[in-house]
Amino acid sequence: MTDTAELETLVGRSYQHGFVTDIESDSLPPGLDESTVRAISLKKREPQFLLDWRLAAFRHWQTMTPPKWAHVHYPPIDFQEISYYSAPKAPANAPKSLDEVDPKLLATYAKLGVPLHERARLAGVAVDAVFDSVSVATTFKDRLEKAGVIFCSFSDAVQKHPELIERYLGTVVPPADNYYACLNSAVYSDGSFVYIPEGVRCPMELSTYFRINAAKTGQFERTLIIAAPGSHVSYLEGCTAPMRDENQLHAAVVELIAEDDAQIKYSTVQNWYPGDENGIGGIYNFVTKRGECRGRNSKISWTQVETGSAITWKYPSCVLKGENSIGEFYSVATVNNYQQADTGTKMIHVGANTRSTIVSKGISAGKGSNSYRGLVKILPTAHGARNFTQCDSLLMGSQCAAHTFPYVEVKNGSATVEHEASTSRISEDQLFYCLQRGISQEDAVNMIVSGFCKSVFKELPMEFAVEAQALLAVSLEGAVG
């Protein structure tokens, strides 16, 4: 028989993005109280309504307790040990062009493969790169401005379009929604903002790379995407973080709003540092992502490939309010070594003839634990609503785990809800078949895993699909022997 131990040694390839950029940063000392919240707001020169909003969130957060229901285990987080603001120091405030950006910073992006400069142009991707907490370089602003698209850092949006922030912020994920969203609402430092005006098809894929650099810095970013009636946008988010022995908290909030006939496609490739092979270090990725299909015939599609983080706790969700609106969730979640993932989605059907599709592929290797947690809720108003859910788990080795927690609440008799689930191993038969055709074990495993994830990968934009496949190969290398 194939040796399980051999399989497991195959899994361990080291994290390739584990470098630290040595840049002087402008940080707040660790600690969290009202003065921290005020200090962040002051640094960002925020209008009063935002400070009030933050403070209200902070006061509410103090009354809350961390959620315990997820199938993940970690020691309690000391929120007083975290620094809530860290910005790279740049001469005379923000750089006006890429030439003014610290070359070390640009080198960091180059290592990450972020397409700035000409690479960006070639790839047709506009990047709003978030380095720790402050957005340092935004490309393609002109072309987007011509189309009327607003794509900027959250801080810029607060300065330039406060009325849009005031109108939409927290309307999808209210501050009191959950523990980590509430904390984010109080202390978020930056993020991305997108507004696509009526009838506009965004001329390029929008992309943001997030990266946690400074040690002991929590990253609390906020993304708000608004698609006005009849507009289309595709947004890509990629994440990596350097290696650290301590665990780092990442508690982001993403809100999407799709009006009548609007479409938002949100793709994530998440490769935060997962900790070492003994489970030391790694990112706690506690993220709230939710989209609201407010208008008729609107559509929101989440695609995620999750290979990193020590702990992942996230459920990109859709609230389907508009008639005939569509929600989609395509996910590949991989755990290896001691990684834990509790991820899935919520599809809340409110409007008539709303449809949702969930395709979740969980891959567990090493001592990893992978849970799918999903809720499909059909409200009494959702006549003719339909959902299709497919959850597949793939196990590699003998010490990993896969769990599925599907919740279904149907309050309208005309709704159709389908659920399919499977759990399988990479079979020795499949492996031997490939070997017998002369294909190496490593290539065979990659091939089988990619095949398993195919229905999700095909939802990703082309360049991302290639990257996702490569990431998967790296994170599972040696998982089967």
Partner 1 sequence: MLKVDNLHVSVAGKAVLKGLTLEVNAGEVHAIMGPNGSGKSTLSYVLAGRPGYEVTAGTVRYDGQDLLALAPEERARAGVFLGFQYPVEIPGVNNVYLLKAAMNAARKHRGLPEVDAFEFLTLVKDKMKLMQMDEAFLSRGVNEGFSGGEKKRNEILQMLVLEPKLALLDETDSGLDIDALKIVARGVNTLRSPERAVVLVTHYQRLLDHIVPDRVHVLAKGRIVRSGDRSLALELEKRGYDWLTQDAA
Q: Which residues bind partner 1 (CB under 8 A)?
A: 1-2, 427-430, 432-441, 443, 447-448, 450-455
CB of 429 to partner 1, least distance (A): 4
Q: What is the CA radius of gyration of the chain?
A: 22
Return the DSSP state at 196.
E
Q: How far is the CB of 440 from partner 1 (least distance, A)?
A: 6
Distance CA 359, CA 351 (A): 22
CB of 444 to partner 1, least distance (A): 8
Residue 245: closest CA among 288, 278, 204, 200: 278
Of residues 252 and 431, the one with the C-beta less far from partner 1 = 431
**End-to-end Cα separation, the chain, in angstroms:** 10
| Nearest to partner 1 of 3, 99 (CB atom) | 3
Alpha helix locations (H) across 18-66?
A: 34-43, 48-61
Contacts of 432 (CB under 8 A, 6+ apart): none
Q: Which residue type, as a one-letter code, is found at position 345?
A: T
Could you tell me the smallest distance in angstroms from the CB atom of residue 449 to partner 1? 9
Question: In the numeric block, which tokens belong to residue 416?
Answer: 């159709």
CB of 388 to partner 1, least distance (A): 18
Minimum distance from residue 363 beta carbon to partner 1 (Å): 13
Minimum Å gap between C-beta 438 and partner 1 is: 4
Q: Are 242 and 279 in contact (CB under 8 A)?
A: no
- Between strands 134-138 and 125-131, the pairing is antiparallel
Distances in whole angstroms, Cα of residue 40 to Cα of each of 88, 95, 247: 15, 20, 23
Nearer to partner 1, 278 or 436 (CB): 436
Residue 217 or 393 having the CB closest to partner 1: 393
The smaller minimum CB distance to partner 1, of residues 381 and 430, is found at: 430
Closest to 277 (Cα-Cα) out of 7, 13, 16, 479: 13
Q: Give CA–CA dist 422/412, Å, rounded.
A: 27
Q: CB nearer to partner 1: give 2 or 14.
A: 2
Report whether 154 contacts 190 (CB < 8 A). yes
Q: Answer for the pair 136, 107: CB distance below 8 angstroms, yes or no.
A: no
Least CB distance from residue 330 to partner 1, whole Å? 14
Q: Provide the token pair at 379.
A: 């409200």
How far lies 29's CA from each of 202, 223, 241, 427, 480, in Å?
40, 25, 21, 52, 45
Q: Nearer Cβ to partner 1, position 412 or 455? A: 455
Beta carbon of residue 447, minimum distance to partner 1 (angstroms, whole number)? 5
| Residue number, 115 or 481, with CB nearest to partner 1 | 481
Query: Nearest approach, Cβ of 441 to partner 1 (angstroms)?
Result: 7
Q: Read off the tokens for 143.
A: 């072309």
The residues, ordered by sequence, that sit 6+ positions from 303 with a Cβ below 8 Å of its Cβ are 265, 266, 267, 268, 328, 329, 330, 331, 456, 459, 460
User: Closer to partner 1 at the Cβ: 49 or 432?
Assistant: 432
Alpha-carbon torsion, ordered 469, 217, 187, 332, to 10 deg: 20
Beta strands in 117-176 (DSSP E): 125-131, 134-138, 150-153
In one letter, which amino acid is 130? Answer: V
Complex with partner 1: residue 64 or 421, whichever CB lies closer? 421
